[in-house]
Structure 1
Amino acid sequence: MSGLSLVLLTVLMVAAGQMTQTLYVPAMGDMADALQVSGQALPLVMAFYLIPYGLFQFVYGPLSDRYGRRPVLLVGLGIYVLGSALILLVPTYPMLLLGSFVQGAGTAAAGSLCRSLMRDRFEGAELVRYNGYVSMGIMLAPLLAPLAGGWLNLHFGWQSMYGFLLATGLVILLVMSLCFRETLPAERRHVQPMLPAYQYVLHHGGFRRQLGMLIATFAGLILYEAVFSVLAGRQGNLTSAEISLLFILPLPLYFGGAMLASMKAAVWSVRRMQWLASAGLLGGAVLVLAGGLLPELGLFMLVLGGGLYFAGAGLLFPVATSKAVAPFSQHAGTAGALLGGSANLGGGLFLLVQGLLPEMDQRVLGGLLLACAGLVVWFLLPEEEALPAPGV
């Protein structure tokens, strides 16, 4: 496979998982009414998806280092299809949670491998550049999903969204079965047990810092996505279609951040790009917080601040991911699983914790985003290199 073909297949294999995360956001109010639950209960759907999406990556990553990427990917996609079918067949709130859990457990395979496939093929500035391409492509699904979800819900009801996800999962499974070729040759696989493999990767101090930055940034992103619909709905009588349009406005800026990473990979240092990304995260968080303090500008600042935060995240993700996996040619699957699994598990747990707060408004969201951005800066401050990793 050429580099471009690998990027396209990588983007396709994570498309279902990315759409699952945002497709129903504009319809959360209608879903709550149809399922006879409170609006506060719907963010739990995202948590039930993200937690297994994070946890199962810890399993898929080392398995792919041992048995190859292709079989692990196909099994995971099959599990995702099963979860989508469960929700469609039994449209109740408990089954929505269970099906979301199964979906997350399945698509975790693609979430883990999307971080290791590029490392199988590229190094150095090329690795950053191609990870930037993947980040740009991955954003197309959550960019289009809310529009599709709002339209499907408006014309056919909320269940149609999961019919769409089932069909999408089946198509992706078929394409991957026919077109995806193994990227990890047998001679580069290893049979190290799972726990020592994770210990080997985690010993690297530089990896731990990049991991911390990714977790903190992703927690802010996922919180913004989870509560945007509720906060925007309080600003006026907006339809699900209008909310979906507002929801996607910040997403192209993520695309722009990832594009900047690809364009400047051979010119700018990793540290320079990460400091620029941190500035975007901090600025976006401040704008969201300011909107909470100035109600007349609330919706405008919510969207503008979200856009700036997304731009910072778009620049940070491919750079931090590339720097984290670069030292691990034989443990790329394990390293990718730690990155994706920890970020998504952390994001899911963060949503559960914020659900315990007495109230979620724009001021609280801005404060939490500011805390996430501050953590990124804290992880970025040390200048010394990581401890040398021990031998395999």
Structure 2
Amino acid sequence: MPHGTQHSKSFKRGFAALLAALATLGPFSVDTYLPAFAGIQQSLDTTPLGVQQTLSVYLFAFGVMFLFHGAISDSFGRRPVILVSLVVFTIASAFATFASTLHELLVCRVFQGLSVGAGIVVGRAMIRDLFDSADAQRLMSLVTLFFGLAPAIAPIVGGVLYAWLGWRSIFGFLTVVGVLLVALSFRALPETLPKEGRQAFHPAALFAGYREVAINARFLLLSLAAGFNFNGFFVYIVSAPVYLGEHLKLGPQEYAWLFIPGIVGIMMGSQLSGRAAGRLTPYETVKRGYAFMAVGATVNLAYALSTDPSLPWAVLQMFVYGIGFAMVMPSITLLTLELFPTRRGMAASLQGFVSGMVNVLTAGVIAPAIYHHPRWLALGMLALGATGLLFWLSYLRIARRIVEDPPTILPEPRETNPD
């Protein structure tokens, strides 16, 4: 199934739906169990910090393994990496369901983190293996839609499961999802990287590839921009137990108040990004997305400074910011992968690693430091989004100075001035 092959609409829809399902597994593994933190703490006789560690070790393992999923898929193919990772995730989820101590749960969370990132990393590379230009952006927008929806839907699902069946049912649910994805991927997931396009799996070759990607300034700036953009949204997700439970006095089954505005915003942003494909350059789409993010974060801070939080006004920032994030993410991802057309898997891995480390920073340091007051949370959203914008603007400055032929797939920024 070579790059550039004409694919039917039904194939595109099915392929995108499967990759989207694989991409949502990571966010679901983080956010489904957030409403159950108090129950886990009581059941395993631990502290709030102990439960928080189950999130931190997962995110750390998730981020570290991002370094390898794509590189391994560049050598052995996309399909085997996804299938093996899904099997490991399913087994780890099953063991987590029956964990009797915090230590056992931590070990299970590490294995979940090590395995769950393959879907989003390798999936991005698969899209660029098969599709050019506008089609790639449309499919990436759809995957971004579901990737962004997962953190919003997962806590709602988790809250219902926790209230009805207890915290162990959440990991049972993840086990069932893993089994279904193994079956679907084994049956329907194609191999998109032909053998002649694969890289040698050798330490020296891998090191050379990592070095080539990691020292590229444009790559690092794009990856950091994507990571900080998402974390302006993510900081409210990981702060949900405090923001909703303490500041808004809501129960675990009422998490929809925070997440439904995010769902709707991400849906709208993804639709706008998909429609912009072929009509606007990626740079113009990103510019418009940042405008939405800036409005959402700024108005949110003004509201938090002026009054105590109350529904529905305290959650509308998720809607507006979500539109902007979902518009920006597909274009930045495609621009990143296009920097290394022969190492897309490795580029996707390193981009995910950089973004994952920003997630770890937010979940482990930033959110616990600011979620005790709504004003600090609002300032955190604005600061994280502004940091992402600064990295994007820095990328544009470098891209305009570099002397090279314009890329064949995605155009250079306007007003280039090669020296």
TM-score w.r.t. the length of structure 2 is 0.86
The alpha-carbon deviation at position 245 of structure 1 amounts to 4.1
Higher relative contact order (CA 8 A, sep 6+): 1
Q: 1:16 to 1:376 in 2, by over 3 A?
A: closer
* Selected match of 2:369 from 350, 357, 365: 357
Q: Secondary structure at the match of 1:182?
A: coil
Matches within 5 A, 1:127-166: 127-166=136-175
Tell me, yes or no, if structure 1 residue 120 matches structure 2 residue 134: no
Q: After TM superposition, where is structure 1 displaced by more than 6 Å over at least 4 residues in a row?
A: none
AA partner of residue 195 (structure 1) = F
User: Structure 1 stretch 66-75 or stretch 366-375: which is displaced more?
Assistant: 366-375
State whether residues 148 and 326 of structure 2, in contact with CA within 8 Å, keep that contact through their aligned partners in structure 1.
Answer: no
Q: Secondary structure at the match of 1:178?
A: helix
State whether residues 290 and 301 of structure 1, in contact with CA within 8 Å, keep that contact through their aligned partners in structure 2.
Answer: no
User: Structure 1 stretch 233-242 or stretch 210-219: which is displaced more?
Assistant: 233-242
Tell me, yes or no, if structure 1 residue 253 matches structure 2 residue 265: yes
Tell me, yes or no, if structure 1 residue 49 matches structure 2 residue 58: yes
Match of 2:243 in 1: 231
How far apart are the structure 1 equivalents of 2:112 and 2:332? 27
Tell me, yes or no, if structure 1 residue 76 matches structure 2 residue 74: no
Q: 1:91 to 1:304 in 2, by over 3 A?
A: farther
Tell me, yes or no, if structure 1 residue 175 matches structure 2 residue 157: no
State whether residues 20 and 146 of structure 2, in contact with CA within 8 Å, keep that contact through their aligned partners in structure 1.
Answer: yes
Match of 2:290 in 1: 278
Q: 1:144 to 1:352 in 2, by over 3 A?
A: closer
The Cα offsets for residues 44-72 of structure 1, whole Å up to 9 and x where unpaired, read as 33322222111101111111001100111
Between the aligned residues of both structures, percent identity stands at 25
User: Structure 1 stretch 316-325 or stretch 280-289: which is displaced more?
Assistant: 280-289
Q: Secondary structure at the match of 1:115?
A: helix
Structure 2 stretches of 5 or more lacking a match?
Answer: 1-6, 405-419
Match of 2:417 in 1: none
The alpha-carbon deviation at position 167 of structure 1 amounts to 1.1
State whether residues 291 and 298 of structure 1, in contact with CA within 8 Å, keep that contact through their aligned partners in structure 2.
Answer: no
AA partner of residue 260 (structure 2) = I
* Selected match of 2:386 from 371, 374, 377: 374
Matches within 5 A, 1:279-294: 279-294=291-306
User: Structure 1 stretch 295-304 or stretch 58-67: which is displaced more?
Assistant: 295-304
CA RMSD of aligned residues (A): 2.3
Match of 2:232 in 1: 220
Tell me, yes or no, if structure 1 residue 343 matches structure 2 residue 355: yes
The alpha-carbon deviation at position 355 of structure 1 amounts to 6.0
Q: 1:30 to 1:294 in 2, by over 3 A?
A: farther
Match of 2:197 in 1: 188
Q: 1:152 to 1:388 in 2, by over 3 A?
A: farther
Q: 1:33 to 1:300 in 2, by over 3 A?
A: farther
* Selected match of 1:268 from 274, 280, 287: 280
How far apart are the structure 1 equivalents of 2:295 and 2:208? 40
Match of 1:319 in 2: 331
Q: Secondary structure at the match of 2:211?
A: helix
AA partner of residue 181 (structure 1) = P
The alpha-carbon deviation at position 89 of structure 1 amounts to 1.9
The alpha-carbon deviation at position 249 of structure 1 amounts to 2.6
Q: 1:143 to 1:219 in 2, by over 3 A?
A: closer
Tell me, yes or no, if structure 1 residue 332 matches structure 2 residue 353: no
Q: Secondary structure at the match of 2:399?
A: coil
How far apart are the structure 1 equivalents of 2:286 and 2:129? 24
The Cα offsets for residues 295-331 of structure 1, whole Å up to 9 and x where unpaired, read as 4345544311122222211111111001111232221
The alpha-carbon deviation at position 197 of structure 1 amounts to 0.9
Structure 1 stretches of 5 or more lacking a match?
Answer: none
AA partner of residue 390 (structure 2) = W
The Cα offsets for residues 260-292 of structure 1, whole Å up to 9 and x where unpaired, read as 111011111222221222222222222332343
State whether residues 128 and 265 of structure 1, in contact with CA within 8 Å, keep that contact through their aligned partners in structure 2.
Answer: yes
The alpha-carbon deviation at position 187 of structure 1 amounts to 1.2
Q: Secondary structure at the match of 2:372?
A: coil
User: Structure 1 stretch 163-172 or stretch 243-252: which is displaced more?
Assistant: 243-252
How far apart are the structure 1 equivalents of 2:255 and 2:347? 37
How far apart are the structure 2 equivalents of 1:13 and 1:331? 21
State whether residues 69 and 118 of structure 2, in contact with CA within 8 Å, keep that contact through their aligned partners in structure 1.
Answer: yes
The Cα offsets for residues 12-42 of structure 1, whole Å up to 9 and x where unpaired, read as 2223323112112233333333334444554
How far apart are the structure 1 equivalents of 2:325 and 2:84? 30
How far apart are the structure 2 equivalents of 1:14 and 1:128? 16
User: Structure 1 stretch 284-293 or stretch 74-83: which is displaced more?
Assistant: 284-293
* Selected match of 2:223 from 211, 214, 224: 211
